[in-house]
Structure 1
Amino acid sequence: MRDIKAIESVVADGLANQGYEVVDLIVQNQGSKKLFQFFVDKEGGINLDDVEKASRLIDSIIEMENLIEGAYILEASSPGIKRVLKKPEHFKKFIGQRAKITLKQMIENRANFTGLIAGANETEMTLDDGTTQFKFKYEDIKKANLDPVLEF
């Protein structure tokens, strides 16, 4: 099996030709098999038919490129409302949205920050927690997700 980044890259390139984006790939052991969970999106959002089509495309790409040896389980899903933010484009797309950021190292005695994405460029993003604006370099971010407030 190729490394996870290589698999994600090859699949992402193939899906991009069809208008889809691989937002994230999670690989887990599932008994004697590996579970590959691809989270996909497209401009304007993704629906169930899109997820089904993306799943078939991913399966075809994996088989054609011989990316995974042996038995595996493939899942495709939308990124969901608490979608992961990994690339500068993700942060730029969601400026004004609420996000939760976990840093690799603590600053000001904390590693978790929640607030609105106030800005983003190619190297860093700005998070506004209502009282302070924090600038975080992407390389210092361990995990970032949208964190919408759900009102019922």
Structure 2
Amino acid sequence: MEKLKNLEGLFTEEVEALGYELYHMEYVHEDGMNILRFYIDHEKGIALEDCEKVSRRMSDILDEKDPIAEDYNLEVSSPGIFRTLFTKAHMEKALGEKVMVRTKKPVSGAKKFVGILKEVTDQGLIILKDKEELEVSFENLRSVNIEVDL
């Protein structure tokens, strides 16, 4: 949504002014509802109070700027331990981590696999899976999530 993209800089500034990182923002339609979702992060983690603080500030901005004509719900949450890596910067920050990769077309016979994120190149990712290096182009990438053993 173009109006939201135009406000992304303002949202980022306001979230940072509160002491957090705006990890990701999305406007989606789920279960019959429109949802404007902000994922926030902090080196010490995110608690419910953090989400409430950011939600109040984002709500004030959204009321003032009124960028969305239709009804929607505002959600603020942590990206979580199984966080999706949306940007190249997210991926570079996760180098050496175990990741779950989902692709559009099979890579080495699979569309879904777990491995270590070894490298981020201009063209895509290099994943170390069972001592084999798999190259996944950004065009073939469906999603990448941190994989944590619980």
Deviation digits for residues 122-148 of structure 1 (CA, Å, limit 9, x no counterpart): 542221113211222323211111111
CA distance in 2 between partners of 1:4 and 1:148 (Å): 36
User: RMSD over aligned Cα, in angstroms?
Assistant: 2.6
Residue identity opposite 1:27 in structure 2:
V
- Is the contact made by 1:27 and 1:34 (CA closer than 8 Å) also made in structure 2? yes
- Unaligned runs of 5+ residues in structure 1 are none
Instruction: Quote how far apart the aligned CAs of 1:57 are.
Output: 2.4
Equivalent in the alignment of 1:62:
62
Instruction: Quote how far apart the aligned CAs of 1:47 are.
Output: 2.6
Matched, 1:85 2:85: yes
- Is the contact made by 1:88 and 1:123 (CA closer than 8 Å) also made in structure 2? no
Equivalent in the alignment of 1:46:
46
- TM-score between the two structures when normalised by the length of structure 2: 0.79
- TM-score between the two structures when normalised by the length of structure 1: 0.79
Deviation digits for residues 95-118 of structure 1 (CA, Å, limit 9, x no counterpart): 121111111222333211211111
Deviation digits for residues 36-89 of structure 1 (CA, Å, limit 9, x no counterpart): 232221344323222122212222232232211143211111111111111011
Give the share of equivalent positions with the same residue, in percent.
23
Residue-pair matches, total: 148
Residue identity opposite 2:5 in structure 1:
A
CA shift in 2, pair 1:135/1:37, >3 Å: same
- Is the contact made by 1:24 and 1:39 (CA closer than 8 Å) also made in structure 2? yes
CA distance in 2 between partners of 1:3 and 1:139 (Å): 23
- Unaligned runs of 5+ residues in structure 2 are none
Matched, 1:21 2:22: yes
